[in-house]
A and B are shown apart, each in its own frame.
Chain A
């Protein structure tokens, strides 16, 4: 194993959180190396096609997926520069204050060690940095005031507008979705043209993926991205009280040791625990930062209740963005549904394509042959949907744990066990019922629930934040309680999931963690 020249920071993963850390720390004058398992994608690689869009997702994930609701790892994951944020829909809703205090308010789940008010300035900061379109004033019926978004809301189309009246009658106020997309030119990046290819990677720069925001900034500030580099272990000093760098296999599959004064794990919620567990030493026999035995625990996902509807009119479903035109927190109270605990976040109106998991054909996955073709002809004109995302509470038994079987680099695979509890299933079912009611009230000619396997969307937990090593893996900045120069970044540090899309909070927490790391550098890195 060759030992490379020491750098200030090595970041594992070039996705949403790693890119923010790289940007902040490189701008602060630190030498930054990002080790990314996949390719260093360029915008020109982002072909507008569901076929080609699959290349930016993981192939052959190193996880054995088990449980009642096995996690849809490959579909949700990212592979290469930008990570999952290269194909995210750029929906940027916030968590609400109630998400941070579930234990205190309901004696359920966990509290965060910080409040909404702590995170709020970073939401505003991120909005300015990457560009967010939306109507902050309209959102403030549900959350504390903050800065206005830097861009006005995006255009809407009939596939979204058609839900407004029926939702209002049901007590659901739909407001313009907050999205990381340009409704007008912003910071040299063009406005969106609403062609609906967000989910395979937007090459124009209208959508704020890391290639045109944080990762671009990081590279300009001197950060180096080493693509096709697979990290297998985090190494520690002899006393076991500091990390010294990471071991990885480079593009030529040669083993390297990259020394660093600070290590940031930003390889997503399941891979970070796998790395920590595989880095066990005599001093850390349960894996690094794991005296709590909570590394790999409290894995969480969101689920969605999708209500499809076909209308007897052209709903312009080929236009728009993949994510959402409208959103609502009117079912976000943890007790919105009788007999089932957890938040619901509602979105409506999205551009649809023909194939892939979210396309027209999968809206009726039971159809094939001539019936499918007849459906496709109807769907391309009149199909739209309303989607209700649900919160699953953290469960300690939802876990990542290493097993004896190994990957091509000799690193143990991990078993990833995931099951929803009765509350989650209850929220899921209640949201289907409400979705159908709304669709009928909206005048749909046909409506149905996408009620097959309960889906797993987004990925959170596994290295949760808390007040100390007795109840968590990291503090609110992402610093591990046990190793001061080891950070964990990304949704893995969320102690609860909320129901809204997580990426805005990932950006905000990463900005906060990275700024704190830079501000305390002398104390941490020496």
Chain B
């Protein structure tokens, strides 16, 4: 990568494209593309990413393919001051990975306790019922950040990736009208 290319590359990375290694080559991908190409996570494990995708899809249809897991994973990999997660404005204490790991752990433990299966293995109906109980703090034996807070934070992430982008506005049929358009989704 020559100097000019590297400067453009770093600039794009700073603007939120994910720097991932695909086939041994560094590449800049949007979260949606990163997911489609099977880019590895930086912080989350595959299992954690699976929970995030299943939860995100339950919260907002389309969140999985929009790349919610890669979005969160990328934001967890950057310094908290650079993170664009709504968690940062909800008084969640950094490092944010602590919150997300605790939330994922609580979901998995509760899913096993209630259904004997991991959350990602539940049916769509079961996932929906689970989330509805979680948001109301009605899951017995819940161990982790309060269920309503987990719901609020992860729902915001799902809303962000599906509705908060320029593509999301277009899909809803409303003009985005930026003064300074984001060069990447996040």
Give A contacts to B, CB under 8 Å: 44, 46-52, 54-55, 57, 59-61, 65, 70, 72-75, 193, 195-197, 202-204, 318, 353-357, 359-362, 365-366, 368-370, 372-373, 376-377, 380
Contact = CB atoms under 8 A, between A and B. Distances in A.
B182 to A, nearest CB: 5
Interface of B: 16, 58-61, 80-86, 88-91, 93-94, 128, 131-132, 135, 151-152, 155-156, 159-160, 163-164, 168-169, 172-182, 185-186
A44 B59 contact: no
A51 B84 contact: yes
A59 B84 CA distance: 10
Contact of B180 (A65, A203, A353): A203
Contacts of A75: 89-91
A47 B160 contact: no
A366 B135 contact: yes
Contacts of B89: 54, 57, 74-75, 357
Residue from B59, B81, B128, B185 whose CB has the most chain A CB atoms within 10 Å: B81
B16 A51 contact: yes
Contact of B179 (A46, A54, A361): A46
B164 A50 contact: yes
A372 B7 CA distance: 41
Contact of A355 (B61, B93, B164, B178): B164
Contacts of A74: 88-91
Contacts of B176: 48
A318 B164 CA distance: 14
A365 to B, nearest CB: 7
Given A369-B59, A376-B172, A204 B179 contact: yes
Describe A's contact surface by its main secondary structure.
Answer: loop
B84 A52 contact: yes
Contacts of A353: 164
A48 B179 contact: yes
A59 B88 contact: yes
B84 A48 contact: no
Q: Please give me the 4 A-B residue pairs with the lowest Cβ-Cβ distance, nearest first.
A: A48-B178, A355-B164, A195-B177, A354-B163
A355 B155 contact: no
Given A49-B178, A318-B175, A59 B159 contact: no
A355 B60 contact: no
Nearest to A202: B179
A50 B128 CA distance: 27
B173 A72 contact: no
Contact of B82 (A55, A355, A356, A376): A55
